[in-house]
């Protein structure tokens, strides 16, 4: 694309060179620059891109956008000085370069503290069940149709995001469902994206290492609902009510969901079990009995949000029910492990105090034996939640086993000590900083009808210790240990 076209709606000063040249790609990482690319020298939070201009040119950059004065001897390089900040600049030029590709798809964004990954997967399953392939982006993975693309962030950077959307368009995909993190919104990674629908799940105390307070966290999330053409909001959440008050009066489609008839979409006659939830669905236009094959109240909420999005997309009752019946197991989210034992094991990503309380509350609704909870807390962040999570597990579990999560640079024993501060009877808990050993303890303690919850890591396949990533997956470890026990018993 011509450089002049890329710079539309950008205030800039041409320092040297000319604008009449074709640009083959745009990058803010000099290592990814190829011949004929435009390099955007971003003065970021930790790295100043201006230090890598020469590396970008050596890799083939034919033009450079800077925020500050630079002295380049290479006369063939076009140098442009932007008069706007990098966070505002990059989305503008990327959307220009990709010809506003997001307008060529129906895009649904999901935000909130908990439930983003599950709702993204469930809505994608529902759309797939009605005959359409989807593009998805989120914490677990990114997909284009049946093809899986590794995910580094919940919300990709603006360049990667538009690249994925372009690939989806080229493969004739019509729908994209994506998680939208508060980081992604605050850092303008999604600026310029044309959202058809925004979904709000809930807001609880998390990411305070990034946001200065809950108001800052909420205001970041709220940006999605300014951007979206239509919104689906949780009416049972305190912050959801704030969004409803702000956006319901706007001239755009709007639906609320919850567990009472105060919402546009709700359920009644709820019956919970380990297999799933039976209930009666009520919408503004129809009422019908449904079965949700993922157990727990939180998945009732998730289902209602999916239904709201489907209604705004124009799906009728038959297709909505078909979509609900198309839900598949969600990797690491209330993930029932096929153990072939007389006890059950659930792996869940719950890593905040609110998420842990919710998943334990749900299991208590249908447990027949004891509830054994295994969890740890992440190092280097959110220390305030550690004793709270300890207190929650002691209150709602029959047995608590404390262990490690991603510890980063902290001593795992010190993290466990912080968790124990919230526990009234620490002598009654088990602890082992080795996550594998902790899981073994839980399995060895389990009796008939017990349920083991392994919380915190969910789908993740590594444990982060310092700068290392140690291969580990809760679900795989459970299956391998059970096989080891079986083989030992047969000898």
pLDDT digits (tens, 9 = 90+) for 272-285: 998 899 999 999 99
- Boundaries of CATH 3.40.1390.10 in the chain? 3-97
Going by their DSSP bridges, the two strands 197-200 and 254-257 should be labelled as: unpaired
Cβ neighbours for 215, distance < 8 A, ≥ 6 positions apart: none
- Boundaries of CATH 3.40.1190.10 in the chain? 101-324
For residues 198 and 111, the answer to whether their CB atoms sit within 8 Å is yes
Q: Starting from the edge strand earliest in sequence, which strands make up the sheet with 197-200, in order? A: 147-149, 142-144, 134-137, 175-179, 106-111, 197-200, 230-234, 254-257
Over residues 84-124, the pLDDT tens digits come to 876 788 899 999 999 999 999 999 999 998 889 899 999 99
Over residues 191-209, the pLDDT tens digits come to 889 999 999 999 986 544 5
Over residues 326-369, the pLDDT tens digits come to 999 888 989 999 999 999 999 999 998 988 999 999 999 999 99
Does domain 3-97 match CATH 3.30.450.20? Answer: no
How high is the pLDDT of residue 212?
62
Residue 420 CA to residue 62 CA, distance in Å, equals: 58
Alpha helices in 130-271 (DSSP H): 158-170, 182-186, 214-227, 238-247
283: part of which helix (H) or strand (E)? Answer: none
Of the CATH numbers 3.20.20.70, 3.30.43.10, 3.40.1190.10, 2.60.40.10, which one belongs to the domain with range 101-324? 3.40.1190.10
- Boundaries of CATH 3.90.190.20 in the chain? 335-490
Over residues 275-333, the pLDDT tens digits come to 899 999 999 999 999 999 999 899 999 999 999 999 999 999 999 999 999 999 888 98
Radius of gyration of the chain, Cα coordinates, nearest whole angstrom: 25
470 exposure class (CB count in 10 Å sphere: 0-12, 13-18, 19+): exposed
Q: Identify the band that residue 43 occupies on the pLDDT scale cut at 50, 70 and 90.
A: confident
How high is the pLDDT of residue 88?
84
CA 396 centroid distance within chain = 26
What superfamily would CATH give domain 335-490?
Mur ligase, C-terminal domain (3.90.190.20)
How high is the pLDDT of residue 8?
93
Going by their DSSP bridges, the two strands 266-272 and 277-282 should be labelled as: antiparallel
For residues 88 and 191, the answer to whether their CB atoms sit within 8 Å is yes
How high is the pLDDT of residue 251?
84
Residue 333 CA to residue 474 CA, distance in Å, equals: 12
What are the DSSP calls for 248-269, one per residue?
Answer: TTSSS-EEEE-SSTTSSBEEEE
């Amino acid at each position: 694309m011509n450089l002049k076209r890329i710079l539309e709606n950008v205030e800039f000063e041409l320092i040297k060179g000319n604008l009449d040249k074709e640009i083959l790609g745009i990058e803010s990482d000099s290592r990814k620059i190829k011949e004929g690319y435009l390099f955007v020298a971003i003065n970021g939070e930790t790295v100043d891109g201006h230090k890598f201009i020469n590396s970008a040119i050596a890799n083939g950059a034919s033009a450079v956008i800077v925020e500050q004065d630079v002295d380049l001897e290479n006369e063939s390089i076009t140098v442009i000085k932007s008069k706007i900040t990098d966070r505002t600049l990059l989305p503008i030029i990327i959307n220009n370069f990709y010809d506003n590709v997001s307008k060529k798809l129906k895009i649904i964004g999901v935000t909130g503290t908990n439930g983003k990954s599950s709702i993204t997967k469930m809505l994608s399953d529902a759309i797939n069940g009605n005959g359409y392939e989807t593009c998805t982006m989120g914490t677990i993975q990114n997909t284009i149709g049946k093809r899986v693309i590794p995910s580094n962030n919940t919300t990709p950077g603006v360049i990667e995001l538009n690249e994925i959307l372009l690939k989806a368009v080229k493969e004739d995909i019509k729908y994209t469902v994506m998680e939208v993190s508060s980081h992604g919104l605050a850092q303008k990674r999604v600026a310029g994206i044309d959202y058809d629908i925004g979904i709000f799940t809930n807001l609880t105390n998390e990411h305070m290492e990034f946001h200065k307070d809950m108001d800052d966290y909420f205001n970041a999330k709220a940006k999605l609902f300014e951007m979206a053409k239509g919104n689906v909001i949780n009416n049972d959440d305190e912050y959801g009510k704030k969004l409803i008050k702000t956006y319901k009066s706007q001239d755009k489609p709007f639906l609320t969901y919850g567990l009472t008839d105060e919402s546009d979409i709700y359920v009644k006659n709820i019956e919970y079990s380990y297999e799933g939830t039976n209930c009666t669905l009520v919408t503004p236009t129809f009422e019908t009995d449904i079965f949700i094959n993922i157990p727990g109240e939180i998945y009732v909420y998730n289902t209602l949000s999916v239904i709201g999005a489907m209604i705004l997309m124009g799906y009728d009752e038959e297709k909505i029910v078909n979509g609900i019946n198309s839900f598949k197991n969600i990797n690491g989210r209330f993930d029932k492990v096929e153990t072939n034992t007389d006890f059950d094991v659930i792996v869940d990503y719950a890593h905040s105090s609110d998420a842990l309380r919710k998943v334990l509350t749900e299991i208590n609704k249908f447990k027949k034996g004891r509830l054994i909870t295994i969890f740890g807390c992440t190092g280097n962040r959110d220390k305030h939640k550690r004793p709270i999570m300890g207190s929650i597990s002691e209150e709602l579990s029959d047995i608590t086993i404390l262990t490690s999560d991603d510890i980063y640079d902290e001593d795992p024993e010190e993290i466990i000590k912080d968790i124990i501060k919230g526990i009234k009877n620490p002598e009654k808990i088990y602890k082992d900083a080795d996550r594998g050993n902790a899981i073994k303890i839980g399995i060895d303690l389990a009796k008939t009808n017990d349920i083991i919850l392994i919380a915190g890591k969910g789908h993740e396949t590594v444990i982060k210790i310092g700068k290392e990533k140690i291969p580990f997956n809760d679900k795989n470890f459970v299956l391998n240990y059970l096989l080891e026990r079986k083989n030992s018993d047969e000898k």
